[in-house]
Structures are given as C-alpha cells and as structure tokens.
Amino acid sequence: MKIITRFAPSPTGYLHVGGARTALFSYLFARHHGGQFELRIEDTDTERSTQASVDAIFEGMNWLGLEHDSEVKYQSKNLARYHEQINKLLSEGKAYYCDCSKEELDEMREAQKANGEKPRYDGRNRDKGLVKTEETVIRFKTPLTGEVTFDDHVRGSITVANDELDDLVIARADGMPTYNFSVVVDDADMGITHVVRGDDHINNTPRQINIYHALGFPVPEFAHVPMILGDDGARLSKRHGAVSVMQYAEDGYLPEAVLNYLVRLGWSNGDQELFSKEEMVELFTLKGVNKAPSAFNTTKLKWINQQYIQQANNERLVELLKDRLAALNIETDIDLHQVVELFKERAQTINELADMGLFLMQDLTGYDEKAEKKAFKAGSDTALQAIIDKCEAVTDWQGADLHQLIADVVEELEVGFGKVGMPARLALSGQAQGPANDVIMKILGQKESIKRFQAALDYVKAKLAE
C-alpha cells in the first residue's frame, strides 16, 4: 500500500508552531515510507478564511522546506462533491433535515445539564421526515447501538460507544458542509491512508469513522499527536512568545533549526538532539511520538539555532545578515564577512549576530556608563592621544600589527595594559566587553578608528575639565 498523508490547515491566520509540527510529522511519515505528502486548504469558513492567510501558510511551508507532491486542494472548490455525497446520505435514509432553532437547542442542553446528563442533540427530528427549508440543517444519523474502535498510532486502541455520540450537523442551513463531513469526503477522494493531526481531533474521529462507513469509503489510519504547551504548562499562545512560524524567520532563526526543534518537540530517537532533514526522514516513526504534551522551550530552540549558525556557510550568513540590516534600514561599507567570522560562534540568532555587530556599522551614540567611570579618567586622555599619534603614522593599515601598536603605547607610557586597552576598547565600541581592539580596528579601518579615538579623547578632556 502506498502511504499518502496530508496537512489540512484552515486559512484563518498564520501557520502556527503546532500546525507546523503536525505538518512535519505527516511529511516525515510519508517520506520515510516513500509515500506522498499532500496539502489541502480547508477554506469553507468564508467569514474567517482569507487569501492573506493562505499565502502565509504557503510561505511558512516553503520556508521550512515541507514540499507537497500534488496540486494544492481547496475545499471551497469542492462544494458540488460534498452536496453530492450529502444527497446520497439523504436518499439512503442516513441523514435528515432538522429545523430546531438555537433557542430550542439551548433549552434542550440546559435541561440535560439540570438532569446531570451529557448535553447533546436528542434526535427529536430524526424520524419526522422533514423537508428542506431556509432554516433546516442536515444531520447525520449516528448508529444508535454498537461502538467505534480504532488503533491510534500514538494513543493506542480507542473505543467510543455510539450512544455517546449525537447526530451531528453535516450541512448548515446555508448548505455549507461542516468540517466533520467535508474532511471525510476529501480524505477519501485524495486516497489518504494515514491522518496525522493534533489530539484535539480525537473526539471527531469516531464521528468521522461512522461517516466513512455510511458513505462506503475505506477508513484511513489515525495518529493524534499531543498538543504543545508553554513553559508554564498552559496551551501555547502568543503570551509565551512567537507562535507564528514566520515570526521565527523574522527573529533570526534558520529554517533547518526550527525544523530540528519541532521534530524533537514530542519525538525522540535516543539522546540525539541534532538531525539533518535526511536523518529525520530516515529515522522518523510514529511509534517514537510521545503521548504526553510537549513544552515549548525557547532556550532550547536558541541553542539548536546556535549550532546551525556555527555550522552554516559564511556566505549564507552574510546574505541573511544583509537582509536583517536592510530590515533595520542600516547601510554599511564594512566587510560583513568579517562581522560574521567575528560573532558567528557567539550569536544564537541572525538578529543577535546583527546586534553584536551594530557598533561596527553605526556611529557610537554614547559609552557604557559603568565602564566609562573606570576607563575614562585622568591618564586616559594621554593614552588615547598616544594611540591616535601611532595610528596616524601607520602606512599599511591592513598589514600592520595593531595589537603591537597598543602594546607599544603601554610600554612607552609605562603603565598596565588595562590603562590603555580599556579606554581604547570603550572608544572603539562604546562597551567594556567585546572583541580584541586590534580586530575591531582592522574592521573599522584607519580613518574610522582614528575618528572614534579622537571623539573619545574630546569626551574625556571635556569630562576632566568639569
């Protein structure tokens, strides 16, 4: 049997982390077995579905590299097929019209609650033989006896008695089919063999299996993956940070790092942490998916992203850095290859990489207050002037030993290295910590280095004159 899986998002917003992980598991299962992975857009909710959301889903899937195999299917283009199958159920006495008003349904449920019963539709119109009107919905005749059992690839065997299920609505009064019906028709028509989805759909599965049987369709196998929680144990939401896949792109994460993190979010292969996409395909099994919910850990994601940045080709990082600087409206003439080489081992995101190098690309607007009190004091003006004099005397800046230049100033002034090195670093970067002074000077160039030393000297002189 050729395995065919699908990812079927509703275009009512961005591609979120939970959806992306479900798509990834579905994708990997199909690829592992040499099968097909399909994409379907469930856009029958006309009030909430937008083209912008469709585009956002495509963008997220493309960024993650989760390519689908056939033309994208849209539920909104398949209405005639749904109506055909609904009419089939009506003609066979497996569905019926219901004209219960919202008020009537509310009263029914309140009475059931008062009696300690499970609130649900009581089937009062099941055998009345009502005809279609502008107010009628269409309900599916759920079997009154028996039970539904299915072997879930993650949760194991699940059994639900039919008398626990009510007659669900399969078409609204405006004729629009509901989710539980249209998804059955679509999965059957697309030949889906395995449905991988979130465990919030477990309650839908017995209902859908009954519809599969009623329509005479083969029933696919199911795998319901657990939800993703925030660090606090609550369901992942915006308050836990970014939940949109493309927000992680904007925040400077690499797609392969996000993919790697998502696959480890509820799946494991021993103690291995880092996986190439090829390794994921080779090793992934649904048996390895945890039953318990997984907690999203941004610290872990950053660590994984840092590993991928360290392994990345410098040319690629330069292009990503250019994109980040463009987003910040920053133009620079310095060699970004040097910036990447300087900070790639320390940066956890591309945005951090850019932030670390900003002092090289922008004029300094001030000095670290705490560091300034230690470095900019009596004697530092003499050190800065001596550095300027030696910098101006250099004829081959890139070939010069600039570390020795600083060391010569230390020797001539007969002071400790910190008396010269600290004011120099603060003058060059505005910070107490950072790369070596000679490295910064090489990247900035002779003119800019002297300019910064002079600005610091003027600042110190003004401070000492107060």
Write the pLDDT tens digit of every residue in 164-182.
999 999 999 999 999 999 9
What pLDDT is stored for residue 44 in this prediction? 85
- Mean pLDDT value across the chain: 95
Residues 405 and 380 in one domain: yes
For the chain, the C-alpha Rg in angstroms (whole number) is 32
Shared-domain flag, residues 404 and 352: no
Question: What are the φ and ψ backbone dihedral angles of 344, each rounded to 5 degrees?
Answer: -65, -30
- Phi then psi for 235, rounded to 5 degrees? -60, 140
Whether 441 and 393 share a structural domain? yes
Domain boundary among the residues 225, 247, 274 is at: 225
Q: How far apart are the C-alpha atoms of 450 and 432, rounded to whole Å?
A: 19
Tokens of 33: 């077995």
CA angle 102, 104, 105 (to 5 degrees): 65
Q: Which of 284, 302, 320 delimits the end of a domain?
A: 302
* Residue 466 binned pLDDT confidence (cut-offs 50, 70, 90): confident
State how many domains the chain has.
4
Task: Identify the band that residue 419 occupies on the pLDDT scale cut at 50, 70 and 90.
Answer: very high
Residue 288: CB partners within 8 Å, gap ≥ 6?
A: 267, 268, 269
**Which CATH number belongs to the domain containing residue 388 in this structure?**
1.10.10.350
**158 in a structural domain:** yes
Same domain, 221 and 82: yes
CATH assignment of the domain containing 346: 1.10.8
* Residue 82 and residue 220 in one domain: yes
Query: Per the domain annotation, does 58 fall within a domain?
Result: yes
pLDDT in tens, 366-386: 999 999 999 999 999 999 999
Do 242 and 355 lie in a common domain?
no
What share of the chain in percent tops pLDDT 90? 90
- Model confidence at 47: pLDDT above 90: no
Same domain flag for 233 and 220: no
Whether residue 307 is contained in a domain is answered as no
Position 342 pLDDT exceeds 90: yes
Q: Is the pLDDT of residue 137 over 90?
A: yes
Instruction: Give the structural domain span for 161.
Output: 78-225
pLDDT of residue 186: 98
pLDDT in tens, 272-306: 999 999 999 999 999 999 999 999 999 999 999 99
Confidence of residue 1 (pLDDT cuts 50, 70, 90): confident
Is the same domain home to 184 and 102? Answer: yes
Answer yes or no: is 253 within a domain.
yes
Is residue 133 located within the same domain as residue 188? yes
Q: Is the pLDDT of residue 187 over 90?
A: yes
Single residue among 225, 247, 278 that ends a domain in this structure: 225
Q: Which of 32, 37, 39, 33 is nearest to 8 (CA)?
A: 39
Reported as a pLDDT band with limits 50, 70 and 90, residue 48 is confident
Neighbouring residues of 303: CB distance < 8 A, sequence distance ≥ 6: 348
pLDDT in tens, 105-129: 999 999 989 998 889 999 999 999 9
- Answer yes or no: is 176 within a domain: yes
Both structure tokens of 339: 């910036």
Q: What is the DSSP letter of 133?
A: -
Reported as a single tens digit per residue, the pLDDT across 49-62 is 899 999 999 999 99
Same domain, 263 and 380: no
| Residue 232, pLDDT score | 79
Question: Do 239 and 277 belong to one domain?
Answer: yes
